[in-house]
Amino acid sequence: MASLEVVPEYYRNYRLDDFQQQAVLELLKGNSVLVSAPTGVGKTLIADYLIDQAIAKGDRIIYTAPIKALSNQKFKEFKALYGAERVGIVTGDVVINSEAEICLMTTEIFRNILHQDLPRLEGISHIIFDEIHYLSDEDRGTVWEESIIFMPKEMRLLGLSATIPNVYELAAWISEIKQHHVSVILKKDRAVPLEHFIYEKHLGATNLKAVIGYKHQLEVKDHPSLNDKRELETTHLDLIKHVNKQKGLPCLYFVFSRKMCELKAQELSFQRSFLTEAESSQVEAVCDRLIQEYGISNLKTANQAKVLLMKGIGYHHAGLLPGLKEIVETLFGMGLIRVMYATETFAVGINYPVRTVCFDSPSKFDGVTFRPMTNLEYFQMAGRAGRRGIDQQGFVYILCDLRNLRPEEYPSTNQNEIEELKSQFNLSYNSVLNLNRNHDQDSIKVILNQNFATFQARNDKRKSEQLLASHAEKLDSLNADLCSERENSGCPLVYLRLRQKLKKQQRRFKFIKGRARTAIANEINELRSHLDLTTARTCSPEQQRKCEEQIQVWQELNQRVVSLQERTSQIVITGRFYDALQLKTEILEDLDYIKGGELLPRGEFAAQIYTQELLITELYFGGLFHELDADQLNALIVAIDYEPRKGEFYPKHLPFDQKPVKTVIRNLVYRYGVDERDAVFHPSLSNFAYRWSQGCTFAELIKDSTIQEGDIVQAFRRGIDILRQIKAACAGQDPIFASKIRDCMERMDRDIIQVNL
């Protein structure tokens, strides 16, 4: 067993903190490790040390990231550190040196390898899950769970996150299903402490209580400013002015709208520049070099961004061209962007700390609707504030709009109130197929009980039962102390209530008519007879007050016990996902994908498709893919799994006949009961893909287009990813079509669409 002496005090000229040394020690012992530590304290140094150790031993390491951009960034970093021959990358649309000692990939790719090609992981000693809190992501969390469930037992993991409140629960789950020790390294203190503010231009940097009080004062006085938008509104310009005055630059300003990122950056640029002449010239030189390198000099957006960047102002969002993102990130890393307007994608993994983080609103658009930020989201983004070794303090501001002030939408600034990770496990059709492909029915039942959701349900039930037992015991104790007459009319409290009820009914009797009058008369007579025969006990007012308090406590506790009993009885542990498995299996049997637990040709094909697997399989086996030429096929593929943004329309004329596609979707949804989300198709970019496949230049392609360039690039890259999956699925059985797919990919994967690594 390793001893503390094995762990170096310094690594890469950094003195290792206690938590870093503890993490390294646990890894050297052969344990898996979960590190929950704030942004900027040096979590990645632990991963770097682990990689160095693995290379020295001749082992291999997989590094997974939640988004391709982060995988690409890490690929470049590791190439610079270890040399190109030792580093590989595998994402849906890029495969470089996949057998290298250090292999970067998205978590989805790792999960797919576990299902399809387990021997490929031979020699892998560790997997690093960066941003492991994505396990609770509603759309993608299942991928993390499946990756952990199916990873080989001898493999160890290192999970990194800034925020896992229930990290010990997560560690206990992993330890239980992988049957080895999982160490938790928890660090709560930030290297640079944060100060949290609400900003309102009349009050300055303040807190929510003060803002609520100020608005209340205006309302009480019916102040004229309440009807004056300009007087009442606080804008990003007000906040940036305050931040600059407080020497708070560089600043990262989160805006949950791509369009507003760009508009606000432009508005600020009209007012001022944050760079000296020499700095501005430096930015211009970097922009010119990289714009030329990425081949985007003929694009209007690149030149528009350059004008802003030369003033020290930038914007960053998912709709930007990858090359333009690279330019912005390069300049930001050089410290030449003083104010960066960004959507939350900039908060994931990219390690560019700033002095100040601002939020344009406490609410965000999540793709469906506007909703308040969760505390987890807030701290994930706010954590960028404060540069280690440079700043004594990091500053976080939320802009306050008095006109639409809703205090309940503001996140808590108490780190102890960050939401716990919750399992989002669900079974896809691909998961069901691969479970049947790789396991027998008994094993499948065992696996279905190994997910984090079941583990959390078991914990939840145990806690509920313990609490229920404790409450029931207290209830019994209270019961023993309660007066034996408390429910009898001899109790002065009950006697008094009956007298009050009698008086109330007597008052009602004077005014009521009809049949109800007879019923009330009978009730009055019964009450009067009962009271005449009853003698109330003589209890002092003090005794009555005490008795009433005891009864109140008993009733409240009894209600909690009843609620807990109901809740505990409803918590399902074993077989939570059996119904979902059964339903999806029946649909797959109806579709001829599976029979008696054995995969049929359609099932074998679909098991290798991880996006819209049913739709793609039906289109392939229906012959539609084979009928189209390469350009038409590219146009069709880009429409699969594409979710249009607001304002995108359904084209009237397409380069392929969409009727067979609509028929397939209609059959899947209405005949077989497939959820509409498992048959997503929207061809708003199909004409773009067709022209691009035919050789059109990107500048020609986007001329007069209202769709953002980055969205077009992402859609084309997703199309290449789908083509790669189809090629792998049909290569053994349909080599001629696989060759056609290769041609399709070559037509799409060129120039600006090609990933530049």
Q: What is the pLDDT of residue 24?
A: 94
**SS3 at position 157:** strand
The reply to whether 435 falls in a domain is no
By CB atoms closer than 10 A (0-12, 13-18, 19+), residue 358 is buried
Whether residue 219 sits in one domain with residue 167: no
Residue pair 402/219 in contact by the 8 Å Cβ criterion: no
- Confidence band, pLDDT 50/70/90 cuts, at residue 224: low
The per-residue pLDDT of the chain, averaged, comes to 89
Percentage of the chain with pLDDT > 90?
Answer: 61
Tokens for 235? 């804008």
Residue 453 to residue 467: CA distance in whole angstroms: 21
Position 2 pLDDT exceeds 50? no
The residue among 446, 371, 351 whose CA lies nearest residue 411 is: 371
Region 488-517: mean pLDDT is: 74
Q: Give the tokens for residue 101.
A: 């000692």
401: Cα within 13 Å, side-chain hemisphere: 12
**CB–CB of 258/319 below 8 Å?**
yes
Q: Do 410 and 328 fall within a single domain?
A: yes
**What is the CB neighbour count within 10 angstroms for residue 200?**
23
CA–CA separation, 74 vs 130, rounded Å? 11
Same-domain status, 654 and 740: yes
**For the ranges 119-133, 388-402, 500-514, which has the lowest average pLDDT?**
500-514
Q: What is d(CA 452, CA 442) in angstroms, rounded to the nearest whole number?
A: 19
For residue 725, pLDDT beyond 60: yes
* Domain annotation covers residue 307: yes
Q: Residue 695 region, left (φ>0) first, then alpha (ψ -120 to 50), else beta?
A: left
Are 317 and 217 within one domain? yes
Residue 482 pLDDT: 67
Q: Is 62 helix (H, G, I), strand (E, B) or coil?
A: strand
| Spatial distance between the Cα atoms of 155 and 669, rounded to a whole number of angstroms | 40
625-652 pLDDT per residue, tens: 999 999 999 999 999 999 998 878 889 8
Distance CA 30, CA 59 (A): 13
Please answer whether residues 437 and 599 qualify as being in contact, where contact means their C-beta atoms are separated by less than 8 angstroms.
Answer: yes
* Residue of 671, 731, 165 lying closest to 422 (CA atoms): 165
User: What pLDDT score was predicted for residue 649?
Assistant: 86
Bridge pairing between strands 95-96 and 87-90 = antiparallel
Query: Cα separation of 243 and 534, whole Å?
Result: 76
Q: Is the pLDDT of residue 195 over 60?
A: yes
3-state secondary structure 684-752: CCHHHHHHHHCCCCHHHHHCCCCCCHHHHHHHHHHHHHHHHHHHHHHCCCCHHHHHHHHHHHHHHCCHH
**Helix extents (H) in 482-606:** 492-511, 515-532, 541-570, 578-590, 601-606
Q: Judge residue 251's burial from the number of C-beta atoms within 10 Å of its C-beta, 0-12 exposed, 13-18 middle, 19 or more buried.
A: buried
**What is the per-residue pLDDT for 522?**
80
- Strands 251-254 and 356-359, by their bridges, are parallel
Give the whole-number percent of the chain exceeding pLDDT 70: 94
pLDDT of residue 488: 65
> Are 206 and 321 in a shared domain?
yes
pLDDT for the residue 109 = 92
Structure-block tokens of residue 433: 């197929």
Residue 555 lies in a domain: no
Buried residues in 711-745 as b, exposed as e (16+ CB within 10 A): bbbbbbbbbbbbbbbbbbbbeeebeebbebbebbb
Q: Distance between CA 12 and CA 20 in Å, rounded?
A: 13
Ramachandran angles phi, psi of 723, nearest 5°: -60, -40
Among residues 206, 393, 311, 321, which one has the least CA distance to residue 717?
321
Same domain (yes/no): 706, 634: yes
Task: Give the pLDDT band of residue 223 (cuts 50, 70, 90).
Answer: low
CATH of the domain at 348: 3.40.50.300
Max mean pLDDT range (164-173, 213-222, 223-232): 164-173
Rg of the Cα atoms in the chain = 32
- On whether both 373 and 300 belong to a single domain, the answer is yes
Q: At residue 4, does pLDDT exceed 50?
A: no
Query: Please, are residues 327 and 289 in contact by the beta-carbon 8 Å criterion?
Result: no
**Total domains in the fold of the chain:** 4
CA 660 to the chain's CA centroid: 35
**Buried (b) or exposed (e) across 420-436, using 16+ Cβ within 10 A?**
ebebbbebbbbbbbbbb
Mean pLDDT for 434-460 is 91
Q: In this structure, is residue 411 part of a structural domain?
A: yes
Query: Whole-angstrom Cα distance, residue 370 to residue 364?
Result: 5
Last residue of a domain, one of 396, 417, 438: 417
Phi, psi of 404 (to 5 degrees): -120, 40
Q: Is 703 a residue whose pLDDT tops 80?
A: yes
Q: How far apart are CA 161 and CA 167, in angstroms?
A: 10
Domain match, 150 and 225 both = no
Task: From residue 556, give the alpha-carbon distance in Å to each of 44, 478, 568.
Answer: 50, 12, 18
Average pLDDT over residues 60-71: 87
Q: What is the pLDDT of residues 159-170, one digit of tens each?
A: 999 889 999 999
Q: Can you give the pLDDT at residue 515?
A: 74
Query: For residue 3, what pLDDT is reported?
Result: 45
Give me the mean pLDDT over the 11-34 stretch.
92
Residues 241 and 370 in one domain: yes
- Whether 470 is in a domain gets the answer no
pLDDT at 349: 55
pLDDT for residue 571: 66
Which residue range is the domain that position 82 belongs to? 4-186
Euclidean distance between CA atoms 443 and 486, whole angstroms = 57
- Per-residue pLDDT, averaged over 664-684, amounts to 96
Evaluate whether residue 179 is within a structural domain.
yes
pLDDT at position 351 is 67
| In-domain check, residue 452 | no
**Nearest to 453, CA basis, from 444, 465, 441, 461:** 461
Q: Which of 186, 206, 233 is the last residue in one of the domains?
A: 186
pLDDT digits (tens, 9 = 90+) for 293-312: 988 988 999 999 999 999 99
Question: Left (φ > 0), alpha (ψ -120 to 50) or beta: where does 54 sit?
Answer: alpha
Q: Is the pLDDT of residue 139 over 70?
A: yes
Domain boundary among the residues 186, 206, 239 is at 186
Report which of 584, 671, 688, 577 is spatially closest to residue 636, judged by C-alpha positions. 688
Q: Please tell me the predicted confidence (pLDDT) of residue 369.
A: 75
Same domain, 97 and 115: yes
- Are residues 256 and 205 part of one domain? yes
Question: Token pair 């050089």 is at which residue?
Answer: 334
Residue 1 has pLDDT above 60, yes or no: no
pLDDT digits (tens, 9 = 90+) for 263-274: 999 999 999 999
**Mean pLDDT of all residues in 597-616:** 96
Whether residue 209 is found in the same domain as residue 349: yes
Short-list 269, 272, 199, CA closest to 234 = 199
List Cα–Cα distances, 220 to 64, 216, 403, 404, 732, in angstroms.
56, 6, 15, 17, 77
What CATH number has the domain bearing residue 675? 1.10.3380.30
Q: For 213-227, 231-245, 275-289, 434-448, which range has the lowest pLDDT when averaged over its residues?
A: 213-227
Please report whether residue 603 resides in a domain.
no
